[in-house]
């Protein structure tokens, strides 16, 4: 009996009030010889592994045959972790470039580390003058730029950049860790200064900028859900040397900025180095769950927008959710792929979305490589709201999640005396794009996805694309303003998932679809990992990923886990991924999807690892920081794995 079935069996036995105990003997596998070849030098110089967001390493030393021998090579702790009211959220991917590992922390420090020992070369602090507790403590790493023709003997010919939640972008000499005086004002660019319209809050620079030649392309994160009119989404092109503003791309139409806001780019941006196009995944406009005041078409919102990386001029745009009233932001950097189809090579990109769709476009023209259908979806019953009659649907590649909400969990329902099924019967559930309502509507998938902000990884030698995806319904309820004021007063946010959407006709409440014991009311799996052949659009395999851990107890493998983070692929035929609730990192066979190795780390590793070869040895390095959405377990660990000598 497989381990999965054993665990399921035990659960069933408990349900029948019987108890069983069993001991699992892990199979001892034959150790295989280490591949003696040395991998060619390769950098991991961007959040997505490269600017094309492929998350691919040419390293071949670690293979499916020897990965079981993988051991911790080094680890270090940054000290930058905080729980409670000011908890950290750390989804950084370390960079490996310039013979150094660079990692940004949620307290806005940059650590430069020795690649083979983790020893600190230097540390830079970008926390600024404001007390840290006044900031959200979030970070997804750093960006790196190097001058094409470096001036001999001058500083800052190679720079590392980190943003903070005060809207400051810091430029630091990659060699010394000193602020670059010629970048902005003494090494700091105040991006807030460029955003004066409806500036309701200071923008947060969580995601590092993309880099193209001497231009940084920078989006920002905001404070969703609280106002009807918020900071309008902008993307900036910035001179990598001086910090000067080169261009601004305004995502919202000018005549709509006093009706709405955001639609910003808070996720990663990818760049095609050949065409010089930058691809911007844009988010939904405010207020996120009621669109009655913003019915006019905004083609760049919840879209993928291709702009000239050096001018910001729009080349093409594709809206992937019309009139978004579900907050299903386009949330990951699209991945470049050269698709071999019908005897032709198509320069394409894959845009994974929270809706679980994989949109595949010709990256030069925006034309779909695999057809997009406009399918009808239900109408809103909210006064003033007009949900669009159709939404884009991609049948191929197969969506990562089904079209209908998962059934009620029998176990969750039984143990809550029918609470789950009673709740489900009360609310509106018509599958995808069920509009928010005052009685409560299922959001399927919810704001957690589908695919989260890590996106997928691509093996460009076979065009195998691997992506993790969540299966999480939530319940969205609109609360008429008068009632919201009675219940919550002027609060912008309140306990129980309330957000004001102040200025609009409705407040909003988000409920997790959990029973009285905190158990999911919907049937598993909760998270999957899928592999696709992008040349044909066919699904290779799809398997539950990770394990749900509650109060320390691990649930059956077949349930999978909600995941935040992304996979990385190696030429050696492996997928490395953390992301899951059970604080484990895994190596998975790229061909079969079988887990070949796993290791407990200090918390969920909510970003893809960096993979590099240094002095003949392949390293897989995770920044392990956690995210309160998954579990309260947070950490400050940077840990590298390698084969023993």
Run of H or E residues at 102: strand 100-104
Q: Give min distance, CB of 561 to another protein, in A.
A: 13
Stretch that binds another protein, among 15-23, 154-162, 197-205, 507-515 (CB under 8 A): 15-23
**3-class DSSP state for residue 277?**
strand
| Site track for another protein across 512-551, x = CB under 8 A | -------------------------------------x-x
Q: CB neighbours of 600 closer than 8 A, spacing ≥ 6?
A: 583, 584
Toward another protein, which CB reaches closer, 80 or 602? 602
The reply to whether 332 sits near another protein by the rule CB under 8 A is: no
- For 623, half-sphere exposure in the C-beta direction (CA atoms, 13 angstrom radius) is 34
d(CA 86, CA 443): 28
Taking CA atoms, 619 is separated from 184, 355, 571, in Å, by 35, 34, 13
DSSP state, 562? -
Q: Give min distance, CB of 80 to another protein, in A.
A: 16
Q: Which is it for strands 88-90 and 137-139: parallel, antiparallel or unpaired?
A: parallel
Toward another protein, which CB reaches closer, 395 or 632? 632
The one among 63, 583, 613, 618 contacting another protein by CB under 8 A: 583
d(CA 622, CA 619): 10
* Tokens (6 digits) for 388: 């669009």
The reply to whether 552 sits near another protein by the rule CB under 8 A is: yes
Stretch that binds another protein, among 12-20, 441-449, 456-464, 501-509 (CB under 8 A): 12-20
The reply to whether 600 sits near another protein by the rule CB under 8 A is: yes
Toward another protein, which CB reaches closer, 16 or 148? 16
The reply to whether 24 sits near another protein by the rule CB under 8 A is: yes
The one among 472, 565, 582, 618 contacting another protein by CB under 8 A: 582
d(CA 302, CA 620): 34
Toward another protein, which CB reaches closer, 18 or 148? 18
Nearest to 302 by CA among 287, 288, 322: 322
DSSP3 helix / strand / coil % (the chain, rounded to 5)? 10, 35, 55
Q: Give min distance, CB of 402 to another protein, in A.
A: 28
**3-class DSSP state for residue 467?**
strand
d(CA 518, CA 540): 34
Nearest to 69 by CA among 568, 582, 587: 587
The one among 16, 553, 615, 645 contacting another protein by CB under 8 A: 553
The one among 14, 244, 295, 516 contacting another protein by CB under 8 A: 14
Q: Partners of 533 in the beta sheet?
A: 464, 538
Toward another protein, which CB reaches closer, 18 or 151? 18
Q: Give min distance, CB of 585 to another protein, in A.
A: 11
The reply to whether 584 sits near another protein by the rule CB under 8 A is: yes
DSSP state, 334? P
Stretch that binds another protein, among 16-24, 58-66, 301-309, 321-329 (CB under 8 A): 16-24
DSSP state, 628? T
The reply to whether 189 sits near another protein by the rule CB under 8 A is: no
Q: Give min distance, CB of 551 to another protein, in A.
A: 4
Toward another protein, which CB reaches closer, 118 or 163? 118
Taking CA atoms, 634 is separated from 38, 81, 86, 560, 626, in Å, by 36, 7, 12, 21, 5
Neighbours of 404 (CB within 10 A): 12
| Site track for another protein across 608-637, x = CB under 8 A | -------------------------x-x-x
The reply to whether 88 sits near another protein by the rule CB under 8 A is: no
Toward another protein, which CB reaches closer, 7 or 322? 7
The one among 21, 28, 85, 152 contacting another protein by CB under 8 A: 21
φ/ψ bin of 293: left (φ > 0), alpha (ψ from -120 to 50), beta (otherwise): alpha
Toward another protein, which CB reaches closer, 586 or 617? 586
**Binding positions for another protein, 555-574, rule CB under 8 A:** 555
The reply to whether 19 sits near another protein by the rule CB under 8 A is: yes
The reply to whether 22 sits near another protein by the rule CB under 8 A is: yes
Count, residues near another protein per rule CB under 8 A: 25
**3-class DSSP state for residue 7?**
helix
DSSP string, 112-130: EE-TTT--EEEEEE---SS
Toward another protein, which CB reaches closer, 72 or 426? 72
d(CA 414, CA 456): 36
Run of H or E residues at 304: strand 303-308
The reply to whether 37 sits near another protein by the rule CB under 8 A is: no
Toward another protein, which CB reaches closer, 90 or 359? 90
Toward another protein, which CB reaches closer, 1 or 23? 23
Q: Give min distance, CB of 552 to another protein, in A.
A: 3
The reply to whether 554 sits near another protein by the rule CB under 8 A is: yes
Stretch that binds another protein, among 122-130, 145-153, 451-459, 553-561 (CB under 8 A): 553-561
DSSP state, 243? -
* Tokens (6 digits) for 395: 């049948």
Toward another protein, which CB reaches closer, 325 or 555? 555
Toward another protein, which CB reaches closer, 32 or 83? 83
Run of H or E residues at 476: strand 474-480
d(CA 374, CA 227): 31
Residues 610/44, Cβ–Cβ less than 8 Å: yes
Q: Give min distance, CB of 77 to another protein, in A.
A: 10
Q: What is the binding site for another protein (CB under 8 A)?
A: 7, 10, 14, 19-24, 549, 551-555, 582-584, 600-603, 633, 635, 637
């Amino acid at each position: 009996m497989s381990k999965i079935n054993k665990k399921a069996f035990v659960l069933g036995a408990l349900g029948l009030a019987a108890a069983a105990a069993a001991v699992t003997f892990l199979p001892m596998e034959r150790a295989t010889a280490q591949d003696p070849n040395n991998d060619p030098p390769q950098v991991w110089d961007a959040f997505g592994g490269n600017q094309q967001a492929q998350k691919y390493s040419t390293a071949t030393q670690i293979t499916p045959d020897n990965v079981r021998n993988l051991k911790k090579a080094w680890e270090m702790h940054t000290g930058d972790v905080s729980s409670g009211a000011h908890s950290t959220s750390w989804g950084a991917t370390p960079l490996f470039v310039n013979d150094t590992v660079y990692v940004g922390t949620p307290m806005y420090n940059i650590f430069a580390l020795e690649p083979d020992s983790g020893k600190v070369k230097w540390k830079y602090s970008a926390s600024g003058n404001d007390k840290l507790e006044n900031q959200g403590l979030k970070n997804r790493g750093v960006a790196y730029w190097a001058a094409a023709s470096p001036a001999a003997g001058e500083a800052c010919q190679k720079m590392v950049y980190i943003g903070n939640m005060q809207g400051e972008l810091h430029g630091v000499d990659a060699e010394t860790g000193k602020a670059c005086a010629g970048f902005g004002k003494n090494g700091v660019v105040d991006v807030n200064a460029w955003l004066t319209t409806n500036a309701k809050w200071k923008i947060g620079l969580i995601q590092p900028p993309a880099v193209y030649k001497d231009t940084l392309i920078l989006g920002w994160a905001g404070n969703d859900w609280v106002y009807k009119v918020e900071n309008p989404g902008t993307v900036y092109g910035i001179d990598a040397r001086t910090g000067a503003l080169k261009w601004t791309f305004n995502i919202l139409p000018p005549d709509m900025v006093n009706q709405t806001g955001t639609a910003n780019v808070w996720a990663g941006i990818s760049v095609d180095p050949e065409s010089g196009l930058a691809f911007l995944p844009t988010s939904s406009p405010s207020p996120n769950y009621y669109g009655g005041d913003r019915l006019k078409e905004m083609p760049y919102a919840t879209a993928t927008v291709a702009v000239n990386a050096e001018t910001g001029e729009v080349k093409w745009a594709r809206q992937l959710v019309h009139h978004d009233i579900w907050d299903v932001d386009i949330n990951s950097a699209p991945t470049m792929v050269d698709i071999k189809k019908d005897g032709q090579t198509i320069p394409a990109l894959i845009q994974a979305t929270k809706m679980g769709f994989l949109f595949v476009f010709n990256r030069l023209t925006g034309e779909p490589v695999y057809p997009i259908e406009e399918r009808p979806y239900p109408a809103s019953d909210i006064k003033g709201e007009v949900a669009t009659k159709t939404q884009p649907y991609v049948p191929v590649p197969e969506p990562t999640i089904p079209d209908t909400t998962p059934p009620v969990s029998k176990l969750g329902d039984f143990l809550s005396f029918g609470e789950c099924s009673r709740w489900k019967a009360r609310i509106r559930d018509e599958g995808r794009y069920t509009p928010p309502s005052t009685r409560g509507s299922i959001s399927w998938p919810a704001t957690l996805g589908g695919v989260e902000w890590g996106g997928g990884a691509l093996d460009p030698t076979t065009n195998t694309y691997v992506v993790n995806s969540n299966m999480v319904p939530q319940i969205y309820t609109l609360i008429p303003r008068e009632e919201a004021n009675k219940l919550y007063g002027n609060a912008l946010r309140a306990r129980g998932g309330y957000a004001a959407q102040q200025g609009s006709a409705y407040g909003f409440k988000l409920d997790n679809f959990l029973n009285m014991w905190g158990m999911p009311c919907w049937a598993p799996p909760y998270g999957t990992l899928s592999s696709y052949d992008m040349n044909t659009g066919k699904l290779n395999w799809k398997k539950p990923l990770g394990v749900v851990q509650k109060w320390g107890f691990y649930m059956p493998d077949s349930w999978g886990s909600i995941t935040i983070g992304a996979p990385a692929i190696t030429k050696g035929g492996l997928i490395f991924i953390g992301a899951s609730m059970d604080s484990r990192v895994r190596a998975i066979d790229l061909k079969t999807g079988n887990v070949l190795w796993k290791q407990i780390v200090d918390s969920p590793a909510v970003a893809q690892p960096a993979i590099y070869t240094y002095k003949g040895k392949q390293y897989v390095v995770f920044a392990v920081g956690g995210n309160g959405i998954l579990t309260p377990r947070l950490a400050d660990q940077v840990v590298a794995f390698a084969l023993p000598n």
